[in-house]
Structure 1
Amino acid sequence: MIKKDICLVSPPTRGNVKTVPIALIYLAGWLSKEGIDVDIIDIKINSYKGIDAKNESEIVDKIIRNLDSLKPHVVGLTAFTSEYNNVINLAKSIKDKINTKIVVGGVHASLQPEDFIYDNSPVDIAVIGEGERTLSEVVNNVKNNQALETIDGICFLKEGNAHYTNPRKLIENLGDLSLPLYSKLNMDYYLKVERHIIRYLYTSGVHILTSRGCPFNCTFCAAKNLWKDPACNRRVRFRDINQVVDEIQYLKDTFSIDSFYIADDTFAVNKNRAMQFCDEILSRNLKLIWAMETRVNLVSDELLKMIKKAGCIQVEFGVESGSQDALDRMKKEIKVEDTVRAFDMCKKHRLRTFANIMINTPGETEKDLNDTIKLKKRLKASHAGMNLTIPIIGTDIYEKYVSPKFSRDELGIFSDPHLYTKILDPRFRLAKHGIDLNKMYYRLNVCNYLNSFFEFTFNAKYIKSILNSRRKHQFAGSVLKNLYKQINSYARFIFGFLR
């Protein structure tokens, strides 16, 4: 029997996630280009209430059946910290039934690989950092029964201890990457009309990447520790603009997408490149709507005018706080005035805005909190998301404020659905003031929840995209389904507020 070289598996926690698994399709594209026989197992269920224990068990069973049929030499898993327990349990289930090597990559494996590599762990190898080249070498070495020590960027068990090989250099030229292998996914599922591409607007599309990395040092973000390169200090690498737009063109021609979202850590960090991207979108007459996230100090009238012309209808910003002291403590490297100016410019160009705002910031005082509330009112964003700042693993604030650190057995707390809405552990409280942050979260978000119920925009490009959509017959059904979901969500929200 011919065995698959490798199967990349989406964790069961993502069984109802509507966002394309970007990491897996990039890996699949690279491996396929290298002549490695790769498949993706991405089991989906129809659930608006999250993945419960029963759903997870059903997904795991389907994964095992698929793996038993394909019999791969290697199984590749991925995990955020919030998925740690689920992925360990999945790996145990696979090991019990399938004779294969299990490799785990992704955010948590890159930041704390030793959490996967220990005596009697079901995981054989943890990939640290960028996975394309590393995973290709792992597959070839496993198939040929060769030693793992020669592979850079991994951690495995040796003589009872976690053994680290040399750090892996980042791919210098992202042009070497292949087109993500969308053909390995059920794109009919991912392209259903939903509200997750351009927040709160119904559309069909995907998230795309035009770069990797971020040059900034925000203390609440782990990005700078995920994209380390032992060879240089360069923390942002860019894909060729033509290659990016080729991908968008492919998605439109092959799957009839209506929209896309640029999921870069910081799009427009290079203004000239952002303008070039818009020029290429316009020159190909793609007529797609899109959204992006960037920093308030990176936008200008010229840039906003250009992105709007190229089809962008929404810009998301990391506002974080209305207190300059709080922003400085977080090393955000922006001024409150930059935020006001950015939102005013977006209003001038009639671009929708989304404000990401945080409370419970490090050392937050009552004045800091009040300044943040005042700024939110001043900005009048189309939508705002206000969440608790949580010191996640890999961030500066985790290293500085969390003591003792969370043990492997405690990592389940990061999967709690209330992680960003309640202080679940005293180690998560960063604010100095004594205000009840659980109640404050609910009070600040009541209007946000109500505002999202019947959200619509009379943006001409958006309305035209609906009328021209191949999936326009899905819009009414999606609105009703999401309304039902929102009513349930709002009821839970109100129940939490009253408690």
Structure 2
Amino acid sequence: MTTPISGQPLDLLLITPGGRDAIYQELGEELTAVEPPLWAGLIATYCRLKDHRVAIIDSEAERWGPETVAKKVAELKPRLVGMIVYGHQPSASTQMMTAAGPACRAIKAEAPEVPVIIVGGHVAALPERTLREEAVDFACTGEGPVTVETLLRALGDEVPDVSQVPGIVYWDGGEVRRTPGAPLIEDLDRDLPGSSWDLLPMDRYRAHNWQCFGDLGSRKPYASIYTTLGCPYKCSFCCINAPFGKNGYRFRSPEAVLKEIDILIEKFGVRTFKIVDEMFVLNEKHVTAICEGLIPRNEKLGGALNFWAYARVDTVKPAMLDMLRRAGFRWLALGIESGSKHVRDGAKKALKSEDIVGIVRAIQEAGINVIGNYIFGLPDDDAQSMRETLDLAKELNCEFANFYSAMAYPGSPLYNTAVEKGWELPDAWSGFSQHSYDCKPLATEKASAAEVLAFRDSAFNEYFTNPRYLKMVDQRFGASTSVHIRQMTRHSLRRKLLEPVDAPA
């Protein structure tokens, strides 16, 4: 973190909780990405534009535990602490509560006079519960920037009145009060013109291993930026729109996006990027304008730019692919989800198998790598449909694949259904992590949670040890990458759900 200007009091200290070891087990040491905290950086920018003095502690990147964070809070004495529990993808917010809770308790023990607001996708989905369960003074019901900045101003009044702060729940004596929601920020270029990169430990961020297949030494420096906020789709398992209150899609101008990319290239030497948007390849005009700006930059850098972004099978147009590749997009992630049309339809993901195969092949023929994302344990899944999903994954033979267990994440329609029907959910927030020891996916009518998890873990090994896949990787990226993947598959996740139960004495 950067040190505030000497002699000037700090208004806002934004904290990103860690917990990588609990969330990813041993995978967090080398294989997973360490991503810049998007929303901490955006909230910092918004508040700095309003003349507040701000600092950020990224305890995940710094590998600081709760006690170290709490001592920093006591040392800096900010007027307000913001605990930011947005994940690097929508489904990652809930699992971050595993680290956010202990950090808040440590702060309150070390510096009880400092007010704490907690912000994030999980918090927006369950604000009253979060306030009751965590050691915080306020919980944010929306996306965060307007609420945090208004709260800062209210706390600066001689007699603070937080009842007029939009988008919070708070304690009023022994009662929980909720204020009307804060408005969404509509002018992104003016109010959220990129992250506060100067407040972040930029030397600590690294890309996922797969993004740099063929050149694993290029994982650093690394940055992630956004070009849009929100998503217009309504997939049953997705919780992205919980902090926004509705399905929607807000755009930054291509000029603002390119300006931020230039800062990262020129000031921090970044060549490896993630586009954070839940769905980047969607609006053709928006994508085209950004790519047309990136192409000359990529050419000037000798083709060194390496971007990855999310797309949908039904939004990728073959005519766009050459442009994307020339702009530096080397990877597109596709939410394929299931090999069964029946299961996809039930998850509100209506795609045809032949369309999936056709688009994947078109992307690969354009020289762009594909990450196929698959989910086991969607409500209509059984052993046969999960097998169909794995068989489709092996047929597609994408350059990388993510295998997930279905989770009813707070803020998703699936969570509401699970609560309404009394389905069994994880015992702790860490259980919502795909890679945690206590991971506990949803059961289906025909498969238990343990069966879904066991299938997911075996599918990962079957895919990445498949001779056809390893041969493709060897040809596409070189022998060193196929060796790396063989080493990756030697990591075996411990799963509480799959451990044998001791027989009674």
Under a length normalisation based on structure 1, what TM-score does the superposition of the two structures give? Answer: 0.83
Change (3 A) 1:149 1:243: same
Which position in structure 1 is the counterpart of 2:126?
A: 112
Which position in structure 2 is the counterpart of 1:334?
A: 351
SS of alignment partner, residue 41 of structure 1: strand
Counterparts of 2:379 and 2:230, CA distance in 1 = 24
User: For the aligned residues, what is the CA RMSD?
Assistant: 3.3
Which position in structure 2 is the counterpart of 1:224?
A: 241
Deviation at 1:315, TM superposition (A): 1.2
Deviation at 1:493, TM superposition (A): 4.7
Change (3 A) 1:415 1:446: closer
Counterparts of 1:257 and 1:453, CA distance in 2 = 30
Which position in structure 1 is the counterpart of 2:25?
A: none
The 8 Å contact of residues 216 and 224 in structure 1, kept in 2 or not, is answered as: no
Deviation at 1:491, TM superposition (A): 4.1
Structure 2 segments unaligned to the other structure (5+ residues): 1-6, 22-27, 86-92, 501-505
Counterparts of 1:495 and 1:84, CA distance in 2 = 20
Pairs within 5 Å for 1:20-169: 20-43=36-59, 59-79=65-85, 80-98=93-111, 99-118=113-132, 122-144=135-157, 145-169=159-183
The amino acid that maps onto 2:118 is: V
- 2:418 counterpart of 1:401: yes
Counterparts of 2:162 and 2:406, CA distance in 1 = 39
Counterparts of 1:114 and 1:321, CA distance in 2 = 34
- Is 320-329 or 333-342 further displaced after alignment? 333-342
The 8 Å contact of residues 212 and 237 in structure 1, kept in 2 or not, is answered as: yes
The 8 Å contact of residues 154 and 165 in structure 1, kept in 2 or not, is answered as: yes
The amino acid that maps onto 1:413 is: G
Deviation at 1:184, TM superposition (A): 0.6
Which position in structure 2 is the counterpart of 1:296?
A: 313
Counterparts of 1:395 and 1:185, CA distance in 2 = 31
The 8 Å contact of residues 437 and 494 in structure 2, kept in 1 or not, is answered as: no
- Is 103-112 or 336-345 further displaced after alignment? 336-345
Which position in structure 2 is the counterpart of 1:241?
A: 254
Change (3 A) 1:337 1:489: closer
- 1:172 corresponds, among 178, 182, 186, to 186
Counterparts of 1:39 and 1:322, CA distance in 2 = 46
Which position in structure 2 is the counterpart of 1:467?
A: none
The 8 Å contact of residues 394 and 463 in structure 2, kept in 1 or not, is answered as: no
Once the two structures are superposed, residues 404-444 of structure 1 have per-residue CA deviations (whole angstroms, 9 ceiling, x without a partner) of: 47899744533584479x6x37xx20252579334322332
- 1:414 corresponds, among 432, 435, 455, to 432
Once the two structures are superposed, residues 429-477 of structure 1 have per-residue CA deviations (whole angstroms, 9 ceiling, x without a partner) of: 0252579334322332114444799996777xx99xxxxxxxxxxxx9x
Which position in structure 2 is the counterpart of 1:492?
A: 492
The 8 Å contact of residues 197 and 206 in structure 1, kept in 2 or not, is answered as: no
Once the two structures are superposed, residues 229-264 of structure 1 have per-residue CA deviations (whole angstroms, 9 ceiling, x without a partner) of: 5xxxx6100111010011111100001112211121
The amino acid that maps onto 1:362 is: P
Deviation at 1:137, TM superposition (A): 0.7
Change (3 A) 1:20 1:446: same
- 2:186 counterpart of 1:186: no
The 8 Å contact of residues 194 and 225 in structure 2, kept in 1 or not, is answered as: no
Change (3 A) 1:44 1:298: closer
Change (3 A) 1:277 1:41: same
Deviation at 1:296, TM superposition (A): 0.5
Counterparts of 1:310 and 1:388, CA distance in 2 = 33
The amino acid that maps onto 1:32 is: R
Counterparts of 1:105 and 1:247, CA distance in 2 = 24
Counterparts of 1:178 and 1:436, CA distance in 2 = 46
- Is 350-359 or 433-442 further displaced after alignment? 433-442
Aligned-pair identity (%): 22
The 8 Å contact of residues 33 and 178 in structure 1, kept in 2 or not, is answered as: no
Counterparts of 1:495 and 1:401, CA distance in 2 = 23
Counterparts of 2:465 and 2:381, CA distance in 1 = 27
**How many residues are treated as equivalent by the alignment?**
461
Counterparts of 1:355 and 1:252, CA distance in 2 = 28
The 8 Å contact of residues 197 and 260 in structure 1, kept in 2 or not, is answered as: no
Which position in structure 1 is the counterpart of 2:332?
A: 315
Change (3 A) 1:331 1:495: closer
Counterparts of 1:382 and 1:410, CA distance in 2 = 34
SS of alignment partner, residue 490 of structure 1: coil
The amino acid that maps onto 1:349 is: A
Deviation at 1:159, TM superposition (A): 3.6
Which position in structure 2 is the counterpart of 1:277?
A: 290
Once the two structures are superposed, residues 178-210 of structure 1 have per-residue CA deviations (whole angstroms, 9 ceiling, x without a partner) of: 33111111111125x762655786223211111
Counterparts of 1:372 and 1:407, CA distance in 2 = 24
- Is 357-366 or 399-408 further displaced after alignment? 399-408
Which position in structure 2 is the counterpart of 1:440?
A: 455
The 8 Å contact of residues 208 and 262 in structure 1, kept in 2 or not, is answered as: yes
Counterparts of 1:44 and 1:398, CA distance in 2 = 27
